[in-house]
């Protein structure tokens, strides 16, 4: 995508604040990012690196960060490890990383990625509920599926990956079981009365009795209800595919759309909104963010030159499963305001090089959006649901008989 600002950008600008998130993956989304000055490749697997990165995102008043994760090494091949040694391979666990940086931040949402295909809802519900407690209400969950046979072989449960439709159906079951487990403790289930010796009111813990095609979960959880009641659930769709649209429509609070332009965003938004209405959920809020990889500099030519240099290091032009923007923060602001007219409520930006492009977002793009009156100047809430304007839901079992 060129840096030329769309002519309609300012005309379509809205006075409503937009939402911004950043997707974090190692040194950045360009495969040669780790070789850039300031990339800190020797610290990618340290708590200090991740705390510094998330602290920078919070300084930019972003709504949340997502942490990429998977259950196999990164690879350029769908058939298994590619054997490359010139690109970053390996990740820290996303949930544990989020939990480590949570006490070092105060406002920004923390959304780790979890692969539903090879994990149990009970374990995930407990992990994300714990993250919500540790962060005092700033946890989220980015649910993804795996269709990689070599990843499935790590677990030995299946000989091959599931068909797309079944994989996403399984993910929807996973989310439903997780959500029920979050509600399995009433908000006031903990008594903690030393004088009477009562720590918990057992009548306020509930069996969830989830019976789906892929999971059967009895409950209750062993972790008290999260501070948000329901941490924010999100999922992504890749550019050119609609396989995740049903999952986003039926099961999430936030959807990330891999689209190439405003027209593609408009079509995706319409399809997901229709699916949500068909599921009887149109009254429930749903944020739709466009995913966008960015290479930013004060001068558009400098941004182009930097991306070209990275491509030369990688021996291939950079490609992505979503749109790629190269240019200045002001030009990116034009683009975001233009695309927003497609019905998007926000954007999840992927820094091409974290060391360079994350500060360009927080110190360049954010001030530009603030000058235009479309982005916050301070955090207005202490929970992720609050930042996204989502109410804290009442527990579904609170008025029901005890487990």
Ligand-binding annotation for 69, yes or no, is: yes
Whether pTM exceeds 0.75: yes
What's the pLDDT at 284?
94
What's the pLDDT at 8?
40
- Could you report the average pLDDT of every consecutive run of 10 residues in the chain (403 residues)? 46 67 97 95 96 98 95 74 82 96 97 90 96 98 84 67 83 95 94 90 92 89 97 88 90 96 95 95 95 97 97 94 96 97 97 98 98 97 97 87 50
* Domain residue extents for the chain: 19-303+322-387
Cα angle 343, 347, 353; round to 5: 155
Please provide the size of the chain in residues: 403
What's the pLDDT at 85?
82
**Sign of the torsion formed by the C-alpha atoms of 250, 97, 360 and 76:** negative
Instruction: List alpha helices for 140-261, DSSP H.
Output: 149-152, 164-182, 245-251
19-303+322-387: what fold? TIM Barrel (3.20.20)
Ligand-binding annotation for 168, yes or no, is: yes
Distances (CA, A) of 26 to 67, 189, 204: 9, 40, 42
The H or E element containing residue 113 is strand 109-115
Query: From CA 215, how far away is CA 123, in angstroms rounded?
Result: 13
Ligand-binding annotation for 315, yes or no, is: no
């Amino acid at each position: 995508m060129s840096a030329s600002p769309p002519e309609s950008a300012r005309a379509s600008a809205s006075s409503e604040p937009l939402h911004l998130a950043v997707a974090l993956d190692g040194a950045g989304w360009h495969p040669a990012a780790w070789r850039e000055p300031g990339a800190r490749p020797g610290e990618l697997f340290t708590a200090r690196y991740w705390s510094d990165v998330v602290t920078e995102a919070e300084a930019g008043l972003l709504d949340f960060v997502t942490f990429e994760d998977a259950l196999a090494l990164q690879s350029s091949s769908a058939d298994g490890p590619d054997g490359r040694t010139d690109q970053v391979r390996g990740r820290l666990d996303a949930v544990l990383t989020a939990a480590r940086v949570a006490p070092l931040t105060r406002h920004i949402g923390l959304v780790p990625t979890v692969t539903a295909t090879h994990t149990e809802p009970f374990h995930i519900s407990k992990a994300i509920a714990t993250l919500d407690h540790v962060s005092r209400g700033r946890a989220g969950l980015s649910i993804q599926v795996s269709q990689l046979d070599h990843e499935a072989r790590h677990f030995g449960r299946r000989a091959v990956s599931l068909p797309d439709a079944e994989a996403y159906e399984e993910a929807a079951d996973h989310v439903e079981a997780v959500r029920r487990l979050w509600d399995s403790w009433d908000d006031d289930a903990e008594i903690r009365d030393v004088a009477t010796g009562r720590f918990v009111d057992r009548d306020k813990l509930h069996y969830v009795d989830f019976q789906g095609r892929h999971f059967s979960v009895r409950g209750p959880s062993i972790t008290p209800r999260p501070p948000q009641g329901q941490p924010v659930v999100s999922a992504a769709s890749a550019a050119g595919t609609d396989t995740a649209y049903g999952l986003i429509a039926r099961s999430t609070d936030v959807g990330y759309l891999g689209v190439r332009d405003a027209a593609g965003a408009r079509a995706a938004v319409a399809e997901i909104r229709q699916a949500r209405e068909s599921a009887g959920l149109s009254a429930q809020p749903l944020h739709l963010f466009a995913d966008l990889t960015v290479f930013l500099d004060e001068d558009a030519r400098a941004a182009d030159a930097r991306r070209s240099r990275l491509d030369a290091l990688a021996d291939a032009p950079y490609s992505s499963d979503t749109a790629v923007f190269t240019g200045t923060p002001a030009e990116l602001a034009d683009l975001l305001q233009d695309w927003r007219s497609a019905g998007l409520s926000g954007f999840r930006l992927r820094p091409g090089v974290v060391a360079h492009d994350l500060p360009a977002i927080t110190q360049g793009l954010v001030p530009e959006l603030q000058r235009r009156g479309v982005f916050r100047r301070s955090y207005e809430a202490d929970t992720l649901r609050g930042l996204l304007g989502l109410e804290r839901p009442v527990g579904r079992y609170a008025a029901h008989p005890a487990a």
